[in-house]
Amino acid sequence: MAKAKKKSKAKSVKKSKAKPVKKKSKKKTGKRAAAKAAVKTKKSKKTAAKAKKPVKKAAPKKKKQIVGEGDYAASAKFDKDQAAFVKRNKAKIPELGKDAEAALDGPEGDSLRAAEREAMNRSMID
């Protein structure tokens, strides 16, 4: 049995061989090195040329005012202004409504209704 143990130990232990380390030279010589150097200089010239060119900015496009069945720019401005008014006067709006109702019921109510009819007639003209 002693012999069998020695053989199994011998098989399990492997000898490792150290590989020699290759030293890289600082300067490459030969045709390959010259070709690589030429490629690097061409690439660096291209990138340098790209970096030197000023970047052209696109000219600002003029906005077309679309007018047809309605002026879209004016409509958008109106909506924006109305939203801003509501935002500024959110707390006052109920009070403003009550004031308007009182004005219609008061002595100036007839002139306010006449002005409203006139404005409606102008908007109805084809």
Structure tokens belonging to residue 99:
């004031």
If residue 83 lies in a helix (H) or strand (E), which one and from where to where? Answer: helix 72-88
Classified as helix, coil or strand, 45 is helix
Length of the chain: 126
Query: Tell me: the pLDDT tens digits for 23-67?
Result: 665 555 666 766 776 666 655 555 555 556 666 777 777 666 566
Contact 104, 113 (CB under 8 A): yes
pLDDT (mean) for 88-104: 94
Contact 61, 68 (CB under 8 A): no
Write down the pTM of the prediction. 0.35
Q: What is the pLDDT of residue 79?
A: 95
